[in-house]
Amino acid sequence: MSKGATKKGNIIRRYMLEHIPPFPFSVVTETCEHFGITRQAASRYMRKLIAEGKVLASGNTRNRRYTLKKTPINRWEFELDGLSEDKVWRENIEPLTRNYPQNVRDIWEYGFTEMVNNAIDHSEGTKVTIDVYETPISLDIYIIDNGVGIFKKIKESCDLDDERHAVLELAKGKFTTDPDNHSGEGIFFTSRCFDCFDIHSGNVFFDHDERINDEHWVMERENVMPGTVVSLELSTNSTNDIEAIFSKYATAKDDHDFNKTVVPVSLLRHGKENLVSRSQAKRLMKRVDRFKTVILNFKDVPTVGQAFADEVFRVFAIKHPEVKVVPSGANPSVMKMIRRAKAALKEMQE
């Protein structure tokens, strides 16, 4: 086999490894489409990865599911009382990252210390467990506390109707139950630095996957998780850059203030319910006046009512003219309602 063919084969296998986590059932199809190769050829590369012990396969041919092999590296358990997140990083995790590129090490230091500090300051628990795994392409770390549960705590402290609404507040950013000591930026930016970021608490699972720009932030699970589990996953050769990510949520070049956010509007929905009321709209826009630019992502929102659109794009705009509200991912039906509300605002201003 020529060097060129070997190099191409290595590139294809690497692509497969990187895309198994976001596409466990369709990674072979994704590979075919990306490289313009036959399914037979892609399957041959996959069989080699399985033979090498890098990939595990389960299910029959029609429902074949692929996962990366995870190798446990270490587990530590710490008492939260008196714990210092920087010491845990320095003595336990930093040595595991020393051979990684600097940008990867910077992300791990930032995200890991932020999440352990959350367990120390907010969980109301007594212990935290750190589980570390390696896959053929990434380092995965689980931070598990035995506290009251992050979503339950936010729900109770903010008098919310549902723990899912706690996820909405986290997704907006600048949220904390302890504003005197915390900025509320840690979870927002950590979720965007890592390839995959998860929080499981109670029966709510908060998920963000940067690899596929996935904004499907929340789902409910039957198994109830006591305390809080935070999962961090990052490729060992990731090109993510922490400064670039901070800059992405600033409204001006060289401005590092966190003044732009993206809000997944679908988090407002309970099941298949429609977004039609002013109360729903007010819940959506709560606290977003802290930003200069608010991008409302309407992905997975099939329709909105006139009152909902009016509250967001006319009433809020009148009360907060300093905030720029930008819709994105809206289908034609939703955009029709948005345009009606904006037209009513323009008519009032003329």
CATH number at residue 56: 1.10.10.10
Dihedral sign, CA of 8, 9, 13, 14? Answer: negative
Domain limit, last residue, from 217, 244, 271: 244
Return the pLDDT at 226.
83
Domain count, the chain: 3
Euclidean distance between CA atoms 33 and 190, whole angstroms: 31
Percent of the chain with pLDDT over 90: 64
Mean residue pLDDT across the chain: 89
Q: What is the pLDDT of residues 127-174, one digit of tens each?
A: 999 999 999 999 999 999 999 999 888 888 888 877 878 888 888 877
Domain end, chosen from 178, 212, 244, is at: 244
Q: Looking at the structure, tell me whether residues 302 and 235 fall in a common domain.
A: no
pLDDT, tens digit, for every residue of 46-98?
A: 999 999 999 999 998 778 999 999 999 999 999 999 999 999 999 999 999 99
Q: Given a cut of 60, is residue 254 above it in pLDDT?
A: no
CA 83 distance to own-chain centroid: 27
SS3 category, 23: coil
Helix (H, G, I), strand (E, B) or coil at 204: strand
DSSP state of 89: I
Residues 213 and 255 in one domain: no
Distance of alpha carbon 69 from the chain centroid? 22
pLDDT of 180 strictly over 70: no
* Alpha carbon distance 307, 286 (integer Å): 16
Same domain for 145 and 273?
no
Please report which confidence band the pLDDT of residue 223 belongs to, taking 50, 70 and 90 as the band edges: low
pLDDT at 116: 97
Q: Which residues of 316-330 are buried (b: 16+ CB within 10 A; e: fewer)?
A: bbeeeeebebebebb
The residues pairing with 204 across neighbouring beta strands, listed in sequence order, are 201, 220
**DSSP annotation of 148:** S
The pLDDT score that the predictor gives to residue 175 is 67
- Show the tokens assigned to 14: 């690497």
Reported in sequence order, the residue ranges of 20-159 that DSSP labels E, i.e. its strands, are 55-58, 65-68, 71-79, 127-134, 138-145
- CATH number for position 120: 3.30.565.10
**Residue in 256, 240, 201 with CA at minimum distance from that of residue 223:** 201
Instruction: Average the pLDDT over each of 2-16, 81-95, 307-321 and give the range with the smallest value.
Output: 2-16
What is the spatial distance between Cα 238 and Cα 158, in angstroms, rounded to a whole number? 37
> Which two tokens mark 58?
């389960």
Q: Enter the tokens of residue 76.
A: 């530590």
pLDDT at 170: 81
Q: Which domain holds residue 85?
A: 71-244
Tokens of 205: 């699972």
Helices 163-172 and 150-157, packing angle to 10 deg: 90
User: Given pLDDT bands bounded at 50, 70 and 90, which one contains residue 176?
Assistant: low
| Mutual angle of helices 150-157 and 102-122, in 10-degree steps | 60
Band (213; pLDDT cuts 50, 70, 90): low
Q: Residues of 256-275 as b/e, b for ≥16 C-beta within 10 angstroms?
A: eebbbbbbbbbbbeeeeeeb
Same domain, residue pair 79 and 198: yes
3-class DSSP string for 277-316: CHHHHHHHHCCHHHCCEEEEECCCCCCECHHHHHHHHHHH
- pLDDT higher than threshold 80 for residue 321: yes
What does the alpha-carbon distance between residue 117 and residue 184 come to, in Å, rounded to a whole number?
Answer: 12
* Of 244, 278, 310, the domain-final residue: 244
Same domain flag for 203 and 273: no
**Domain CATH code at residue 275:** 3.30.750
Whether 178 has a pLDDT exceeding 80, the answer reads no
Least confident of 76-80, 201-205, 254-258: 254-258
| Model pLDDT for residues 157-169, shown as the tens digit of each residue | 888 877 878 888 8
Give the per-residue pLDDT at 256: 56
Q: Is residue 216's pLDDT more than 90? A: no
- Asked if pLDDT for residue 255 goes beyond 60, the answer is no
C-alpha–C-alpha distance, residues 341 and 347, integer Å: 10
Same domain, 49 and 138: no
For residue 142, what are its two tokens?
Answer: 């689980």
Q: Is the pLDDT of residue 214 over 60?
A: no
**What pLDDT is recorded for position 349?**
81
Same domain, 336 and 293: yes
Q: 79 and 218: one domain?
A: yes
Co-location of 35 and 56 in the same domain:
yes
Q: Residue 7 phi/psi, 5° resolution?
A: -60, -45
Specify the pLDDT at position 140. Answer: 97
200/342 same-domain check: no
Q: What is the pLDDT of residue 207?
A: 83
Mean pLDDT, residues 218-229: 73
Regarding whether 298 and 221 lie in a shared domain, the answer is no
Asked if 115 and 207 sit in the same domain, the reply is: yes
